Amino acid sequence: MTNTHNVYKTGTTTIGIVTKEGIVLAADTQASMGNLIANNDTTKIYKINDSIAITIAGSQGDALVLVRHLQNHANLYELEHKKNLSTKACVTVLSNILNSNKMVPFFTQFIVAGTDGDLYSMDMAGGLNKEEQFAFSGSGSELALSVLDSDYKKTLNIKEAIQIAKKAITSAKKRDIYTGGNGIKLVIIKKNGSVEELPIEKYN
């Protein structure tokens, strides 16, 4: 597991958790502009295709340019090859783009997960790591990490991972001023299955 938030701190908290059934992605919904809250209902998890989803942290403009590029690349790949782009191929494309722009970088961090069971974390210079347990990014990482470290087990199922994800994001929200919003976004990537977006979990 790579502590990518040390490379560049970004105002958000996003996490990914590996389970025996698939991967759970979670993110807060607050968009910050300096010390101001710009939006409380911002989406920070996007589908790339029917088998890959990605979380974003950092500059939303930078991140969305890259998300759209990956979506287009995945669509073209599917048309040409009659199958979905793999998670490894997706992160390789993204890594190459980020690395080629490191002199004038995209101020972003990503977590990428696929139905093939792969979970990757990536920093703004294109450095990537395949994660076997969980991944995290953003300014609330330390707070979320304490929950992930204490509660993660290899035997987790998706339902249990959802509860840990909610607990981790809520923990970050309580202490990190850049993590917040009106709810928690959750996406389930089922192993050899589909990418499912759950209804927004509202904070109490």
Residue 123 resides in a domain: yes
203 within domain boundaries: no
Strand 14-18 to 22-28 pairing: antiparallel
In this prediction, residue 66 has a pLDDT band, given cuts at 50, 70 and 90, of: very high
Predicted TM-score (pTM) of this structure: 0.91
What CATH number is associated with residue 11?
3.60.20.10
**Structural domain total, the chain:** 1
Answer yes or no: is 76 within a domain.
yes
- Tell whether 106 is covered by a domain: yes
Per the annotation, the verdict on 155 as an active-site residue is no
Answer whether 120's CB lies under 8 Å from 91's CB. yes
Q: Is residue 130 part of a domain?
A: yes
**Looking at the chain, which runs of residues are DSSP E strands?**
14-18, 22-28, 31-33, 36-39, 45-49, 52-58, 108-114, 119-122, 128-130, 134-137, 183-190, 195-197, 201-202
Share of the chain above pLDDT 70, in %: 94
How many residues can be counted in the chain?
A: 204
- Tell me whether residue 204 is in a domain: no
- Would residue 175 count as lying in a domain? yes
pLDDT grade for 76, boundaries at 50, 70 and 90: very high
Query: Which of the following is catalytic: 12, 13, 29, 87?
Result: 12
pLDDT (tens digit, 9 = 90+) per residue, 22-44? 999 999 998 887 777 878 888 99
Domain coverage including residue 53: 4-198
- pLDDT of residue 156 exceeding 90, the answer is yes
State yes or no: pLDDT of 204 exceeds 70: no
Q: What Å distances lie between residue 124 and 5, 28, 58, CA to CA? A: 10, 20, 9
